[in-house]
Structure 1
Amino acid sequence: MSTPTEKLSAAGVSIWLDDLSRDRITSGNLTELISSRNVVGVTTNPTIFQAAIGSGAAAYAGQIADLAGAGASVDDAIFAATTDDVRDAADIFRPVYDASNGVDGRVSIEVSPDLAHDTDATVAQAIQLWGAVDRPNALIKIPATKAGLPAITAVLAEGISVNVTLIFSLERYAEVIEAYLAGIEKAQANGHDISGIHSVASFFVSRVDTEVDKRLEAIGTDEATALKSLAGVANARLAYELFESAFATDRAKALTDAGATVQRPLWASTGVKDPNLPDTLYVTQLVAPGTVNTMPEKTLEATFDHGDVTGDTITGEYAGAHQVFADLAAVGVDFADVTQVLEDEGVSKFIASWHDLQQTVRTALESAPEVAR
């Protein structure tokens, strides 16, 4: 009997864990998840590292003490600790990377969210992170803000693999695909082996339902109530429809014929926030070939335990997804405003986590010499 995670993998969905810590690396947990839960990659973000370093102080104490002794700044210490974790995780996933011809076995690290609206600084830090991790199976995460779009193109043009994050709208997703194609074209012109450049486009799911459902509750009609918890899945399904059409163009085909890979859709924010919903909703309802689902461990375990994986649940559902959005507009939900609010909130939340992480590391650095004695 196949497990649900095995069925998910067989259906063409790559399972990535939305978490990383030094304890996971050193305890053998990541290796175990590869063998027992079909996990083939890892994503990180400032919130994840804040939790990892904040709650796993002992695992980082030795390095923090050494950094304090060397006079490292807070940001230098964060850079060292997080790139070390990502490098070590990338080494654990290297057999997966090799076996999948570079498609999976990926570990993501994000540029500082403080740079989300600064194109040049994002490009510079992306190059710096790529060089420091120094592993071909790394992905550099860049947010899909307006300033992030040209940065995505510029970083890809350097031959660096990119995870585009914080995508909420189809309009912005179309711009992300354009940024990817332009970046691969520039990389090709720059003489890079474009077959080695990979990218995913991280489309956020549960946060869409959280914001839309709040607005539907405020509207309060029966028609509005009937639409609750439908927008997140519908939005992601329409993203996959856009993905299929965008990579069937002559322009995209010319690149893939030359060895380029397609930029895979990645479903992010797949932990269910509404306790009234099935805890595997954003996994079982978003199954299609060539996708990634990055899950918090709670969602991964729920999927392994009781996920009902029945094959492709996206490509035959486009008409219904379009109808959901027609119905949302009819009851008065301004989805363009929803996605802008979510992008702004997403950047703000990561900035807040980043500043919390800075404070955690600042405190650790200040106390490290005393601990070391």
Structure 2
Amino acid sequence: MTISPPNPSPLYRTVHAGPTDVWNDSCSPRELEYAIGNGAVGATTNPSIVLAVLKKEFAAWKDRLLQLIHDNPAASEDEIAWKLIELMGLRGAEMLLPVFERERRRKGRLSMQTNPVNYRNVPALVEQAVHFAGLAPNIQVKIPATAAGIAAIEEATRLGVDINATVSFTLPQAIAVAEAVERGLDRRAAEGHDVSGMTPVCTLMIGRLDDWLKVVATREGVVTTPGHLDWAGVATFKKAYGLFKARGYRTRLLAAAYRHHLHWSQLIGGDVVLTIPYEWQVQFNKSDVEVKKRIDDPVDPAIVADLYRKFPDFRRAYDEGGLSIEEFDRYGATARTLRSFIEAYRELTALVRDSMLPAP
């Protein structure tokens, strides 16, 4: 029996009042320890997160990085960077293993992201996904919801990989991911494998959808009521959640890219995952926001109508037929996020290079 602390935090109450799960949006051991202490049951990482952890906690990782370089004398900077990413991910997976065992393999996973430069390469995404899944029993693998990524998600699922679709912002992407997972699970079951223990999730980076529409508003001079653009991601997520429940998809939705408390408070009570950065966890835990179920509360129709009328890219995100799979890669939020992930990966390899080849 779990005993509640004397003064449970808002996030602790969030995860113990219903089916909502909280994950830590980082593989930092310090941040993950805080999150687990407040009820978190998972964590995630990507090149941007690894880079941020390495910059903030370089003293803690320097010796391990140098040891990797020493132990792999013929390895390139890219190979060392991936060994470091795996090392950080496995540290997080180890910290979550007690949760994984306590929850009978349904929770307690560490999401590790495939190489963002391979967003167009199905075989490369699948190969790396299978490799990551074999590193520890509680690894979840992040594959982008690009055109190639949708095909890779289906095949990786067929091969037994628990996927976490990422670089995803829109209802069309979420539906395509869920359908790909269903095909993959059905194919795996037809081959005689038990799929009942698989726990696929689909991320909607709701804050990055808000960000993109704000870029569009500034670029095109679109005037909106203050605050309306902060609801775009929430509205899209809630619509997707309703469809996922109605259709019985075996994929859970995951909300990521936090910008304000609505990205937490409006989703409380749903059978969803909230991947929250450490800094936002601390703020939410200090807040006086009431912890109550709001997932089924509709977004003000006037706000949705305003966004729908003024922003074609909101319509593309909000309508099930707003984007074809072939258009996923060219959607503004997708291109913007892929570029940032690839740039972070290049910066990470440059940081590794500085340790391999110190400046003269």
TM-score w.r.t. length of structure 1: 0.83
CA distance in structure 1 between the aligned counterparts of 2:246 and 2:351, rounded to whole angstroms? 45
Deviation at 1:120, TM superposition (A): 1.1
Q: CA RMSD in A?
A: 2.3
Aligned to 1:256: none
Aligned to 2:4: none
Corresponding position: 1:326 with 2:305: yes
- Alpha carbons 1:54, 1:360 under 8 Å: kept: no
**Cα distance, 1:298–1:332 mapped onto 2, change above 3 Å:** closer
The CA deviation string for residues 153-173 of structure 1, in whole angstroms up to 9 with x for no partner, is 111111111111121111111
- Alpha carbons 1:11, 1:311 under 8 Å: kept: no
**Cα distance, 1:87–1:191 mapped onto 2, change above 3 Å:** farther
Corresponding position: 1:79 with 2:50: no
Return the letter of the residue paired with 1:228.
Answer: L
Aligned to 1:235: 236
**Cα distance, 1:172–1:32 mapped onto 2, change above 3 Å:** closer
Aligned to 2:323: none
**Cα distance, 1:364–1:195 mapped onto 2, change above 3 Å:** same
Aligned to 1:300: 281
Aligned to 1:95: 98
CA distance in structure 1 between the aligned counterparts of 2:79 and 2:306, rounded to whole angstroms? 50
- Where structure 1 has 5 or more consecutive residues not aligned to the other structure, the ranges are 253-261, 273-278
- Alpha carbons 1:216, 1:333 under 8 Å: kept: no
Deviation at 1:283, TM superposition (A): 0.5
1:329 aligns to what SS in structure 2? Answer: helix
- Alpha carbons 1:139, 1:161 under 8 Å: kept: yes
Corresponding position: 1:288 with 2:290: no
**Cα distance, 1:317–1:156 mapped onto 2, change above 3 Å:** same
**Cα distance, 1:151–1:93 mapped onto 2, change above 3 Å:** same
Deviation at 1:309, TM superposition (A): 3.7
Return the letter of the residue paired with 1:168.
Answer: F
1:195 aligns to what SS in structure 2? Answer: coil
Map 1:122-271; keep pairs closer than 5 Å: 122-131=125-134, 133=135, 135-216=136-217, 218-221=220-223, 225=226, 227-247=228-248, 262-270=250-258
Aligned to 1:5: 11
Corresponding position: 1:19 with 2:26: yes
Deviation at 1:33, TM superposition (A): 3.2
**Cα distance, 1:240–1:53 mapped onto 2, change above 3 Å:** same
The CA deviation string for residues 320-369 of structure 1, in whole angstroms up to 9 with x for no partner, is 46x5443323235442567810011111110000111111111112249x
Deviation at 1:231, TM superposition (A): 1.2
Aligned to 1:108: 111
CA distance in structure 2 between the aligned counterparts of 1:225 and 1:52, rounded to whole angstroms? 34
- Alpha carbons 2:23, 2:35 under 8 Å: kept: no
**Cα distance, 1:4–1:54 mapped onto 2, change above 3 Å:** closer
CA distance in structure 1 between the aligned counterparts of 2:58 and 2:96, rounded to whole angstroms? 24
- Alpha carbons 2:26, 2:32 under 8 Å: kept: no
**Cα distance, 1:162–1:225 mapped onto 2, change above 3 Å:** same
Return the letter of the residue paired with 1:106.
Answer: R
CA distance in structure 2 between the aligned counterparts of 1:146 and 1:126, rounded to whole angstroms? 17
The alignment-based identity, stated in percent, is 27
1:109 aligns to what SS in structure 2? Answer: strand
Return the letter of the residue paired with 1:78.
Answer: A
- Alpha carbons 2:213, 2:313 under 8 Å: kept: no
**Cα distance, 1:67–1:96 mapped onto 2, change above 3 Å:** closer
Deviation at 1:174, TM superposition (A): 0.8
Aligned to 2:338: 347
CA distance in structure 2 between the aligned counterparts of 1:18 and 1:288, rounded to whole angstroms? 20
**Cα distance, 1:4–1:124 mapped onto 2, change above 3 Å:** same
Deviation at 1:240, TM superposition (A): 0.8
Corresponding position: 1:30 with 2:21: no
- Alpha carbons 2:19, 2:272 under 8 Å: kept: yes
**Cα distance, 1:332–1:97 mapped onto 2, change above 3 Å:** closer
Runs of 4+ in 1 over 6 A off after TM superposition: none
Return the letter of the residue paired with 1:31.
Answer: E
- Alpha carbons 2:308, 2:315 under 8 Å: kept: no
**Cα distance, 1:139–1:307 mapped onto 2, change above 3 Å:** farther
Comparing 210-219 with 107-116, which one deviates more in the overlay?
210-219
**Cα distance, 1:158–1:332 mapped onto 2, change above 3 Å:** closer
**Cα distance, 1:94–1:88 mapped onto 2, change above 3 Å:** same
- Alpha carbons 1:162, 1:199 under 8 Å: kept: yes
Deviation at 1:226, TM superposition (A): 6.9
